[in-house]
Amino acid sequence: MEERKNHIDPAQKALLKTAEELFVRFSSALKTAQIYAPNNLAFVKQISPLFTMLQNILNDWGQAQFHFRENTLFFNTIRVKFDFLSFHKFKLLAEIFREREIGLLGFASGLDNDEFNQFVVLLANSKTNGENPFEDFKAKIESDGLNHIFLEKLHPFERAASKKPEQVKQAAKKVFIKSIVHLKDVFNKEPEEKMPRLRTSRRLIQSIVNIINQDEAFMIGLTNMKNFDDYIVYHSANVSILSVCFGRRLGLDRKELIDLGISSFFHDIGKLGVPKEIIDKKEKLNDEEKKIMQRHTYHGAGKLVCLKDVSYLPVKAIYVALEHHLWANLSGYPKYWKRDTISLFSKIVKICDFFDAITTKRPYREYVLNRDEALSLMIEKSGEEFDPVLLKIFANMVGVYPIGTLVALNTGELSIVTETNPEVAFILRPKVKLITDEIGNKIDGEIIDLTERDPETEEYKRSIIKSLEPEKYDIKPSDYFLAQEN
């Protein structure tokens, strides 16, 4: 996944190193506090150097704060990066913050060893099953007189976005269904009342962006949901999800992603002006019908121009409605819309639109392409119809977990994809080879089928949380395949 580059000035590099070490020690101390009693030697050995470190930081920098934001941990102003060995430690700390809805944890000067010990034990072992985990935890800190520790609650937006993997998947399904209901409302009304409620659209797209930040792969997996009868509705939702995922990989910021999502939602709104007989016609369209169909770009742009709620609708949406059938070489349609360039949003939507359309069954399309076939067809048209650089990035994105991808599992194990699952419903459950155990030790593990379920609970035994960049973990996936062949 594309990551934004952090420009860290040299003065901060020392802090970064210290922060990383502090983070690893803090996480280990919490783990130990979950297992041993506070007077146990193992715990004491962990906590003393950690406390000394914290004291030094407070003396040197005057503050020591952990922030948890967008599933990322920051220490003071530095983003704490985890590597191959510290991944499971990051996971533990992130989980502890998330369960207690902590957005910020700070230590103030004057903190002593006892207070710190007490706090670590409390943080590691406090219950989180109440309705208000943050308030409960904060009350406990205050009643125990831990005065040099301060906490801030996760921002509501962050709370919504920092759910557990299973909750994120549930939320993803919910927002997908809500989007379908909303789009049905837009596309199935009588012509006069077909003005979309843009506030609702915008709120839905905001949720989609939040969820994509948490679990992009699952959201892309949802775009496999197609509906033959309600094509335009599902198509609009799918194109919107694909575009936002795509835009995120291109490094667009949150506001731009929301604008892109809205623009994609309504890219085909002009089809409301095309007679149903033409849209659903089984046979090839004749020239006249083709012309009428192609006019959906003008109809769409016109309709969006007329919408009053401009604050919820970006001007770019009008360009997308107009330009999403233009080719990279400026052919395509509308024929009389000629500019030297096509907007980035339109190029993105063009790719996502084409991909979703040719992988969906339609009255006039007997053979539906699978993802690989669709991508090969599009790659043949690279440069002419599609922007070649964008297409490459897109191909990388929708081939969700191609063979050789390094992935983190919900068990804490790392593994490499060895075989993709041909069933579309199981696109997120390939076969993987385990290469570390749960605590990060490298192993020559077995090959696991991720569709395997626990016979008792019926739950999947393992699931992928996210894909990782092999270079960062000093892993060469090719080594594992070469080893297999011997």
Residues in contact with Fe ion by CB under 5 A are 268, 353
**Of the two residues 33 and 269, which places its CB atom closer to Fe ion in the complex?**
269
299 vs 369: CA distance, rounded Å: 29
Q: How far is the CB of 182 from Fe ion (least distance, A)?
A: 17
300 vs 430, beta carbon nearer Fe ion: 300
Question: Could you give the strand order of the β-sheet that contains 406-409, starting from the edge strand earlier in sequence?
Answer: 447-449, 431-434, 414-419, 406-409, 464-468
Residues 6+ apart with CB under 8 A from 80: 19, 20, 23, 72, 73, 74, 90
SS3 442: strand
By C-beta, is 259 or 353 nearer to Fe ion?
353
Do 211 and 171 touch, CB atoms closer than 8 A? yes
Closest approach of Cβ 444 to Fe ion, in Å?
47
The residue whose two tokens read 């994105």 is 397
Q: Strand order of the sheet with strand 102-107?
A: 78-79, 72-75, 64-69, 102-107, 149-153
Closest CB to Fe ion among residues 115, 385: 385
- Please report how close the Cβ of residue 383 comes to Fe ion at its closest, in angstroms: 21
**Smallest distance, Å, CB 357 to Fe ion?**
6
- CA distances to 301, 430, 483 from 478, rounded to whole Å, are 48, 17, 9
Query: Phi/psi of residue 26, each to 5°?
Result: -65, -45
Residue 115 or 268: the one with the smaller Cβ distance to Fe ion is 268
Q: What angle do CA 157, 87, 28 make, to 5 degrees?
A: 95
Minimum CB distance to Fe ion, residue 234 (Å): 11
Of 389, 372, 445, nearest to 413 by C-alpha is 445
353 or 387, CB closer to Fe ion?
Answer: 353
Q: Nearer Cβ to Fe ion, position 268 or 323?
A: 268
CB of 278 to Fe ion, least distance (A): 13
CB of 250 to Fe ion, least distance (A): 20
Instruction: State whether the Cα torsion 472-477-480-486 is positive or negative.
Output: negative
